[in-house]
Structure 1
């Protein structure tokens, strides 16, 4: 009887530990570091500018480039700083972020240029060479390249054999 209780306790602790690990994963995304001084170029099929707050909406085949990073989406809302320059980008629809070494896709993304943080939400898929990770939320610190993935994190690692 004690063996059965020990086995059940061990099994439950293993399962609970697996759930805790799957809830959040920290990783490094050095390829997503960007140069905050680099200019931002935006291409789109359509641009609408609000006269009341100066915000802009880019729609259709939107591509945003800053240094080596490229972000593409169906639609991007841009909020400008009072002093000039871009403060915040909100992208939605087939969001794809690409650097020379990594790529990430999601349903939506929020890029805080002032805070140097990028948050991707909804069906996030991250590829780093042969390693693939998926989650509900990916938060990247663009100064350090540090990142956290949350919400049912799944990691696929290569086996090491060919």
Structure 2
């Protein structure tokens, strides 16, 4: 009887944890920490600059690098600060983000350089080693590496020990 009660308790706890994880998961992403003064390098097949608002649009095979972070996408729109420098990058079309220890994919990403925040949206997949976390969105504080994943969060943990 004790064995059955213990089994039921474990199953109920697992169900409650799975329900909680479906709403929001917090984690640390040390590989996404980058210095705010690190230069940003951008390459693309095409660059269009708007004279009216000073924004720039990079199209085709876009690669953006800052420190150890590499972001690739089909399209990236860059918004500049009035005083100069980049304020924000909006990426879409197969967005992939890679560091030395982690990688993430999503439909879109918004990189706020001023506030050092990275927001990824749409079928987000985060890979850390052999483990994966899937969600609707992921917000990363690039100053601390703290991240929050929300919406249908699903974790796949490797059973291999190395």
TM value normalised by structure 2: 0.89
Equivalent-residue separation in structure 2 for 1:63 and 1:70 (angstroms): 7
2:144 is paired with a residue whose SS is coil
Alignment of 1:12-91 (within 5 A): 15=15, 18-91=18-91
Unaligned stretches of 5+ in structure 2? 1-9
Unaligned stretches of 5+ in structure 1? 1-9
Alignment of 1:84-99 (within 5 A): 84-99=84-99
| 1:57-83 superposed Cα distances (whole Å, 9 cap, x missing partner) | 000000001111100000000000001
Change (3 A) 1:17 1:100: closer
Equivalent-residue separation in structure 1 for 2:62 and 2:11 (angstroms): 49
Question: Is the Cα–Cα contact under 8 Å of residues 21 and 154 in structure 2 kept in the other structure?
Answer: no
Change (3 A) 1:38 1:151: same
CA shift, 1:13, in A, is 8.2
Change (3 A) 1:67 1:11: closer
Equivalent-residue separation in structure 2 for 1:41 and 1:11 (angstroms): 50
CA shift, 1:23, in A, is 1.0
2:25 is paired with a residue whose SS is strand
CA shift, 1:160, in A, is 3.7
* Cα RMSD (Å): 1.9
Structure 1 segments of 4+ aligned residues over 2 angstroms from their partners: 10-18
Task: Say how many residue pairs are matched.
Answer: 154
TM value normalised by structure 1: 0.89
Equivalent-residue separation in structure 2 for 1:83 and 1:29 (angstroms): 31
